[in-house]
A and B are shown apart, each in its own frame.
Chain A
Amino acid sequence: MIQLKQVSKRYGDIVALDQIDLSVQDGECVVLIGPSGCGKSTLLRSINRLVDLDEGEILVNGQNISNYKAEDLRRQLGYCIQGVGLFPHLSVYDNIAIVPQLLKWDKTRIIDRIDTLMDLTGLPKTYLTKKPHELSGGEAQRVGVCRALAADPSILLMDEPFGAVDPMTREQIQLAFRKIQHELKKTVLFVTHDMEEAILLADRIAIMHKGKILSLQTPGGLVKGKQDAFVNEFIGADYPLRLLKRYTLSDLEVIKVDQDSSKIPLSSLNEFSTTKEILSEILQSGSQEIMIQKQDKSKVIITYDALIELLRKVLNNEIV
C-alpha cells in the first residue's frame, strides 16, 4: 500500500505537487494521467525518493519512506521508466539480475526467479545471453518489466514505461502487462499521458493538473457526477466510446446459438476482441447483431443492445 499525505513540492516558483493526498490499495493499479508538467512524474519519483519532498509524508506499506536509506527503499520498489534504461553493456540476464544481486540473493534463487519472469513475460530463455541492442523495442520493454519485477517487489512504480514503443507493439505489451497484473496483483502506480493506456490498465485513474489531483475515479466512474471543467475537456466527449476498449466479450450478455440455426453471418472476431471492435463490426454489418465463434467452437450472438447495456453498467459503476 502507498499512502501520500499532504505532499507538496516546489521548484522555485513552480508548484509541482500541491498538497496531494492519495492512497493506492494493495493489489490496485492507479494510473496517473495529465498534460506534461502536471506533476505526475514528480509524484511517482517522490515515492522512491528520486525527488525530495518539501512538505507532507509518504508511507510505503505503513512505513514512512524517510525512515529508510534511499538505496534500501529503492531496492524494495520495482521501477520501470520510459526508454527502458537497460544497461547496454550487460546481457539480458545480468540486466534483470541487478536488484536481486544488490539484495545479495544467492545465485540459484536468482536463476529460478529469472526463469519464472521470462515465462511470465513470454520471452524465450535463449534471450538471456543477448545484449539489449539485439532486442526489438517491444522485447526490450518486456525485459524492462522483468527487471522491475525481479526482486518480487510488492509495489511497482512505472513511469510511462511503454511510451517509446510503436503503437502496435505498445498494445501487445499493454495487454501482456494487464495479464501479468491480473495474475500477480501488485500494487502499481503507473504514469502515462495516453488515455487509452489508462483505460486499459487502471483500477482507478487519477487526473492531475498543475500539481493537484482533480479526479480519482474508476474508468467508468470518470464520466458521471460533477466533473471539473478541465477533467471534462481532458477526457474528451468520446470518452464513453474509448471505454469500450477495456472490455471484451466476457463482459457482455450474449445469446448462445446452436451450431447451424442462425442465418447471421459469422464475423471474423473472437472472444478476445474488445467491445470496441465488436461495436465497429456491428456498425459495419449494417444490422443490429453479429455472431462470433469462440475458441471452443460454440457460437454466440451479440446485439447492439447488449453493448448499450454494458456501457450503462460501466457508467453506473456496476462493472469496474
Chain B
Amino acid sequence: MKSSRLKIILGYGLIGLASFALPLGEFKPNRVVKGILLYPSDLFGLVVTLTLFLSILMLFMNQIRKKDPKAWIQWLIISLILLPSLALISLSAAKVSGIDFNPNAARVSLGIGFYVLLLGILIILSQFKSFKWLLLGMITLIVLSAMFDLIPNLGLVKEFNNVQDSFIIALSAHLTLALSSALSAIIPGILLGYVSYSHSQWREWVMGFVNLFQVAPTLSLLGLVMIPLSLLSKTFPVLSQWGIKGIGFAPAFIVLTLYCLLPIVANAYAGFQQVDEAVLSSAKGMGMTPFQIFAKVSFPLASPIIMSGIRTALTQNIGNTILAGLVGGGGLGALIFLGLSQAAPDLVLLGSIPVVIMALMSDQIFEVLEHKLIHIMGVHHDTTQTSQ
C-alpha cells in the first residue's frame, strides 16, 4: 500500500510538473536550427484539452465513484493512456508567431516536459497488473494518431515521411535478423540444455561456453567474429558470394544467435531439471525408450520454462539487433546510428521506438503462449520463475 501511494504521488507530481513548468516541445523552423521552446501555457490546444478532460473526469468521478469504484479506476486509466496522444496532437498544432518559416521544413521536437509527462504516466500505470498491455495500448494510440495525420508537424513524423522507404526496409531487415537468429538458437539451445541436464559432467563446459558470449560485450564479440569471417571469405571467395563476409548479415546473425543461446540453454536446463524424478522413473519403468521419454515426458513438461527462455532470448535479441547497424547488417540500428551522426534526435527516436514496441509485443505474445503451455502441461505456475 505504502509504495503504491508513493507511486501515485510521484506520478501525479511529475505529470503536474510537466503540465505547468517544463517545455513540452521545441518548435524548429527546420531540422538543424535551434528552436523555440513550447511551454504548456503556450499550447492553447493542450490547455483546452486538459481542461475539458479534467471536467469530464470530475463528472464521471462524482457519478461513478458511489456506485462502482472500479469503473472509476478504469476511466482514470483510459484518460492516462489518452494523455500522451492528446499532448502530441496539441504540440503538432502549436502556432508560433513572430518568425518566418517554411511550413514544409518546420517541425516540433519533443521536449523534456513530454518525457517527464510520460514518466509520470508510466509510474502510475506500472502498478496495474496489465501494465504491458496498457503500454501497448498507449503506443497504438500514438501510432494511430500519426497514421490518421493528426500529428503532421511532429519531427518524428516528418523524419518518417522523409525516410519512409528506407524505414520499411530497415524495419523488415531488423525483424528478419532478430527472428531468424533467435529461431536458429532454439534447437541447439534446447539440445545443449538437455545435454547439460542428462550428462552432468558436461554441464560446466556447456554453461561456460554459453556464458562466455553473454559476458563478452556484444560489440567486441562482433569485432571478434568479423575478423575470422573476413579472412574466410578472402581465402574462399565463393563464400562471399553466399553472403558470408566480414561485414553485413553474416557476422550480425552469428553473434546474435550466440547471444540467444544463454537464456535458452539455461532455461532448458532448468526445465528438464524440474521434471519430477518419480515421473521419469515410472516412465522408464513402464518401458519407454530414452527417446520416448524425451519426446513424450521430459520435453512437454519442460516446455513452459523453455518457452520462457525463448521469450527472454527473442525480447533481448530485438534490442541487440540494433548493433547489426554497426557492421552493415542493416536493421533499425542503421537509422539510429545515422541519426546520431547527423545529430538528429528525431531520427534516433524513429529508429528506437519501433524496437521498444517490437520487444514489448514479443514479450507479451510469448507470455500468453507460456501461460497456455503451463495450463496444458498441468505444471505449477511458480516453476516458470527461473534465472536467466
Contact = CB atoms under 8 A, between A and B. Distances in A.
Nearest to B276: A85
A74 B377 CA distance: 26
A98 B282 CA distance: 11
A89 B301 contact: yes
Interface string A61-73: 0000000001111
A: interface residue count bin? 20 to 34
Contacts of B278: 81-85
B289 interface: yes
Given A87-B283, A89-B301, A102 B288 contact: yes
B379 A75 contact: no
Contacts of A133: 378
B287 A89 contact: no
A74 B281 CA distance: 12
B235 to A, nearest CB: 50
B297 A74 contact: no
A142 to B, nearest CB: 15
Interface residues of B, number: 21
A84 B286 CA distance: 12
Given A88-B377, A89-B301, A89-B376, A72 B283 contact: no
B98 interface: no
A133 B301 CA distance: 14
Nearest to A102: B287
Nearest to A164: B278
A99 interface: yes
Given A88-B379, A89-B300, A131-B378, A71 B279 contact: no
Interface string B239-283: 000000000000000000000000000000000000010111111
Interface string B358-388: 0000000000000000001111000000000
Contact of B287 (A81, A86, A99): A99
B264 to A, nearest CB: 21
B378 A132 contact: yes
A79 B286 contact: yes
Contact of B378 (A81, A88, A102): A88
A102 B285 CA distance: 12
Interface of B is mostly: helix
Given A131-B378, A133-B378, A86 B286 contact: no
A98 B280 CA distance: 13
Contacts of B376: 89
A174 B210 CA distance: 51
Contacts of A85: 276, 278-283
B65 interface: no
A48 B288 contact: no
Contact of A89 (B281, B289, B377): B377
Given A132-B378, A133-B378, A86 B279 contact: yes
A157 B282 CA distance: 11
Nearest to B290: A71
B386 to A, nearest CB: 18
B284 interface: yes
Nearest to A44: B285
A74 B288 CA distance: 8
A214 B297 CA distance: 39
B286 A88 contact: no
Contacts of B288: 71, 98, 102
Contacts of A76: 287
Nearest to A150: B286
Of B279, B282, B301, chain A has the most CB atoms within 10 Å of the CB of B282
Nearest to B279: A85
Contact of A87 (B279, B284, B289): B279
A157 B286 CA distance: 11
A157 B292 CA distance: 22
Interface string A103-129: 000000000000000000000000000
A48 B357 CA distance: 55
A79 B284 CA distance: 10
A50 interface: yes
Given A75-B286, A81-B281, 17 more contacts: A48-B285, A74-B284, A74-B285, A74-B287, A75-B287, A80-B282, A82-B278, A83-B276, A85-B279, A85-B280, A85-B281, A86-B279, A87-B301, A88-B276, A88-B377, A99-B286, A102-B286
Interface of B: 276, 278-289, 292, 297, 300-301, 376-379
29 contacts: A71-B287, A71-B289, A73-B287, A74-B286, A74-B287, A75-B287, A79-B285, A79-B286, A82-B278, A83-B276, A83-B278, A85-B278, A85-B279, A85-B282, A86-B282, A87-B297, A87-B301, A88-B301, A88-B378, A89-B376, A89-B377, A98-B286, A98-B288, A99-B286, A102-B287, A102-B292, A132-B378, A133-B378, A157-B285
Q: Lowest 9 CB-CB distances: which A-B pairs, in order? A: A85-B282, A74-B287, A75-B287, A85-B278, A79-B285, A83-B278, A89-B377, A88-B378, A131-B378
Interface of A: 45, 48, 50, 70-76, 79-89, 98-99, 102, 131-133, 147, 157
